[in-house]
Chain A
Amino acid sequence: MFTIVEKRILNDSMTLMAVEAPYIAKKAKAGQFIILRVNEFGERIPLTVADYDREKGTITIIYQKVGKTTLMLDQLNVGDAILDFIGPLGKATELEGYKKVAVIGGGAGCAIAYPQAKALHNMGAKVDMIAGFRNKDIIILEDEMKAVSDHLILTTDDGSNGNKGFVTDALRKNIEDGANYDLVIAIGPLVMMRAVCNLTKEYHIKTLISMNPIMIDGTGMCGGCRLTVGGKTKFACVDGPDFDGHEVDFDEAIKRSRTYFDAEKEATHEYNCHLMEGAKNA
């Protein structure tokens, strides 16, 4: 059992939790992830390590409430425990040797992009952070991202924060203004990462992305998370989750990510009904 020691509501759909997991906290690095199972009937879901505290022995996760399991997780509070919490999994991102990097986060992806920016910043690289959200109400980690970057550009799809546009618009502008990036890191929805990669390909800038396929064990024993990268089959849980974005077959990844779409929708619907039933009876 893994006790929740902090819970912070970031916005209507996103929550941060710090979880006591001393063994994992000792080893975790930027780019790695954990797998958790809320209770005995639960499924195993992967979440990126958003932060860690080696001394306190805690791992921070940030999750978006998108379906049954994340909604169930969100019912837990400080002092409650998560049944299984496994990691650190995957390879750490290789960040050595870069001088000027654009770190791009899309929505919930900012929670994963943030530790990358932080690690790069601590290593002395110049970091431009570009964070995109649908609207200003769902902006997260603004202060944190500001603290670890030289420039933070916040965009909203609807312009509700005064800076309308997509992350790709901001990136293109920076590149054309002569930013001279030796690396771009993009983390967010698959379509957003694909758009970034199409752009950076034009300018021949190396681009790392963090893939988020369906996973079960997260240790390389099933291949549920397989992707085609540079024409070869890779398991995201052990070979990734970071890959060269110019090599990834996005169309395939998008199709595979929808494998259980109907089952997920149904489970979420049933769970929401069950929650509302509970609220009515309370």
Chain B
Amino acid sequence: MPNMSPVKTPMPEQEPNIRNKNFEEVSLGYTEEMAVEEAKRCLNCKTKPCVNGCPVSVRIPEFISCVASGDMENAYKIIKTTNSLPAVCGRVCPQESQCEHNCVRGIKGEPVGIGRLERYVADWHMKHGGAETFDVKPNGHKVAVIGAGPAGLTCAGDLAAMGYSVTVYEALHTAGGVLMYGIPQFRLPKEIVQKEIDGLKAKGVDIQTDMVMGKVLSVDELFDMGYEAIFIGTGAGLPSFMNIPGEELVGTYSANEFLTRVNLMKAYLDEYDTPIIRPKNVAVVGGGNVAMDAARTAKRLGAENVYIVYRRAEEQMPARKEEIHHAKEEGILFNLLRNPVAIHGDENGRVRSIECIEMELGEPDASGRRKPVPKEGSNFEIPVDCVVMAIGNSPNPLIRSTTEGLEANKKGCIVVDEATMATTREGVYAAGDAVSGAATVILAMGGGKEAARSIDQYIQSKTK
């Protein structure tokens, strides 16, 4: 009998006033009983609308029916046939706008907690599952992947499973991309990302860190080295600033810098050498997931007051509802319909306050969103000693500026054929934020998957 409860089985979480002082994971995950109970809410419908909502087409009802019957090992195997990083996706995917958005149970109540179940199964496997065995026959072809973020790792994992010899080149000292330097520990523990990456290595994926492609090796040199195809998954890591007065002051960070110091360099732990300012009052500018991550991180570094400054209203915030909810619970203060116009400093060049102006929503713009318009003369100051700019990123120009024949659009995004992910350069494929601009982990993975399929077809057709 299916469980007809209209609401999801709740997932235990750390108390807001405890968790906002530590970096431990906020959501604690299901127990086996909770997972089985939630799995029984799935009606196993024939049409599987949930699968259509998943960018990597996880076989959702199949794995969930395994969970319902307590067969976690097979549930894991089913997920892994299409998703190389389930412990990550179960945690950070915006399920509410993807798989769970399409769930039939969502019509008259809450959808099935697909993300929570995927997470449970992946965590279960890390704890109880044996080593995975791989009996893939090498096909003798070499592919290079540039960038070890979600797009590159997915592409590499899928190609390795097809028998390709894959080398991933990563500029930082750690693979994982935004999973390692961007998304904080309290949402996505780094040990879990590392285990997923170790799993790919066990599959035969060779990961070379400390390799800044475009500087140390060019795309042309990779072809000379015998790679038959190249995948570019270099993401969108170039931070935007507002170009307002005072952004040069000490205490103004891009979200990328703030989060890289904390997540990748572990500046929040005493035994690590990278320093970070421990601010008392912080303004985080922006309304996306990165802004929520930065604000919640600042709180955990000991800040008393953390303000989100966002120029539109809450309904327009691009951040996940769950993250906004978590941020509010943790005491983050929301300054909505406010926009910074300047940052002021003291005589030592350190941030003293942020000056904002009130906004109101005007007519819808070309994109259909109501345009925020400043209210003349409504300027006010918030005293802060730190400002974090989380207003977006664009693709890093390093690869496209050193590769001939690689076309990019005005925004610096690499141009691809949307069906095949082929760039304008033969044998070169691209996906993820490098193509779309800053988007989500799972969309990058979907693109990486598509590119792996195209690369396989390309190499097979060439060798026939």
Which one of A116-124, A132-140, A173-181, A214-222 is at the B interface?
A: A214-222
B20 touches A (CB below 8 Å) = no
Nearest CB in chain B: distance from A46 CB, A:
13
Please name all residues of chain A whose beta carbon is closer than 8 Å to the beta carbon of B239 when the two chains form the complex: 221-223
**Of the residues B211, B261, B272, B275, contact of A41 by C-beta under 8 Å:** B272
Question: Nearest residue in A to B210 (C-beta to C-beta)?
Answer: A86
A88 touches B216 (CB 8 A): yes
Give CA–CA (A68, B271) in the complex, Å.
13
Of the stretches A3-11, A98-106, A161-169, A253-261, the one at the interface is A253-261
- Residues in B with CB closer than 8 Å to A43 are 265, 272-275
Q: Does A141 contact B (CB under 8 A)?
A: no
Do A217 and B349 have beta carbons less than 8 Å apart? no
Residues of B near A256 (CB, < 8 A) are 248, 250, 349
Tell me the chain B residues, 219-255 only, with Cβ under 8 Å from chain A.
Answer: 237-239, 241, 243, 247-248, 250-251, 253-254
In the assembled complex, the CB of A244 is this many whole angstroms from the nearest CB of chain B, namely: 18
Q: A37-B173, A233-B243, A233-B247 are in contact. Are A69 and B273 (CB under 8 A)?
A: yes
Chain B neighbourhood of A68, CB < 8 A:
273
Query: By the criterion CB–CB under 8 Å, are A222 and B257 in contact?
Result: yes
Interface residues of B in 366-409 (CB under 8 A from A): 396-398
Interface bits B268-284 vs A (CB < 8 Å: 1, else 0): 00011111010000000
Interface residues in A234-275 by Cβ distance below 8 A to B read: 238, 249, 252, 255-256, 258-260, 263-264, 267
Residue of B nearest to A27 (CB): B216
Q: Give bound CA distance, A223 to B210, whole Å.
A: 19
B396 & A221 in contact (Cβ 8 Å cutoff): yes
**A79 interfacial contact with B, CB 8 Å:** no
Q: How large is the interface on B (under 10, 10 to 19, 20 to 34, 35 or more residues)?
A: 35 or more
A194 at the interface (CB under 8 A from B): no
Q: Which of B288-314 contact A (CB under 8 A)?
A: none
Query: Smallest CB–CB gap between A84 and chain B, Å?
Result: 4
Q: Is the CB of B275 within 8 A of A260?
A: yes
- Cβ–Cβ < 8 Å partners of B251 in chain A: 259
> Which of B215, B260, B274 contacts A221, CB < 8 Å?
B260
Chain A residues with Cβ below 8 Å from B254 are 222-224
In the assembled complex, A24 has its CB within 8 A of some CB on chain B: yes
Q: Is B192 an interface residue (CB 8 A)?
A: no
Cβ–Cβ < 8 Å partners of A267 in chain B: 273, 275
Tell me whether B209 is interfacial, beta carbon within 8 Å: yes
Residues of A within 8 A of B4 (CB): none
Is B193 on the interface with A (CB-CB < 8 A)? no
Does B83 count as interface, using CB distance less than 8 angstroms?
no
Report if B93 contacts A (CB, 8 A). Answer: no
Say yes or no: is B136 at the interface (Cβ < 8 Å to chain A): no
Contact residue among B215, B243, B261, B272 (Cβ-Cβ distance under 8 Å from A27): B215
Given contacts A84-B173, A217-B172, A258-B250, A89 and B260 within 8 Å (CB-CB): no
With beta carbons under 8 angstroms apart, the residue of B215, B241, B250, B261 that contacts A223 is B241
Answer whether residue A203 sits at the interface, using C-beta atoms and an 8 A cutoff.
Answer: no
Contacts of A41 in B (CB 8 A): 271-273
Specify which chain B residues have a CB less than 8 angstroms from the CB of A217 in the assembled complex.
Answer: 171-172, 260
A216 touches B265 (CB 8 A): yes
How far apart sit A97 and B117, CA to CA, in the bound complex (Å)? 65
Please name all residues of chain A whose beta carbon is closer than 8 Å to the beta carbon of B215 when the two chains form the complex. 27, 87-89
B348: min CB distance to chain A, Å = 7
Residues of B within 8 A of A126 (CB): none
A191 contacts the other chain (CB 8 A): no
With known contacts A37-B173, A42-B273, A222-B260, A252–B248 Cβ distance under 8 A: yes
Specify which of B250, B396, B397, B398 lies most central, judged by the most chain A CB atoms within 10 Å of its CB: B250
Complex Cα distance, B271 from A27, in Å, reads 35
The chain B residue with its CB closest to the CB of A232 is B243
Contact in complex: A216, B398 (CB < 8 Å)? no
- B248 engages A226 (CB within 8 Å): yes
> Counting CB contacts under 8 A, is A276 at the interface?
no
Known pairs A216-B260, A223-B241, A224-B254 / 15 extra A-B pairs, C-beta < 8 Å: A27-B216, A37-B173, A87-B212, A87-B215, A88-B215, A216-B274, A219-B398, A222-B254, A222-B256, A222-B260, A233-B247, A255-B250, A256-B248, A256-B349, A264-B275
Q: Which 8 A-B pairs have the closest CB atoms?
A: A255-B349, A222-B257, A221-B237, A263-B275, A43-B273, A43-B274, A84-B173, A260-B275
**20 CB-based A-B contacts, threshold 8 Å:** A23-B211, A43-B272, A43-B275, A68-B273, A69-B273, A87-B212, A87-B215, A88-B215, A89-B215, A216-B265, A217-B172, A219-B398, A220-B397, A222-B254, A222-B257, A222-B260, A223-B241, A226-B248, A233-B241, A258-B348
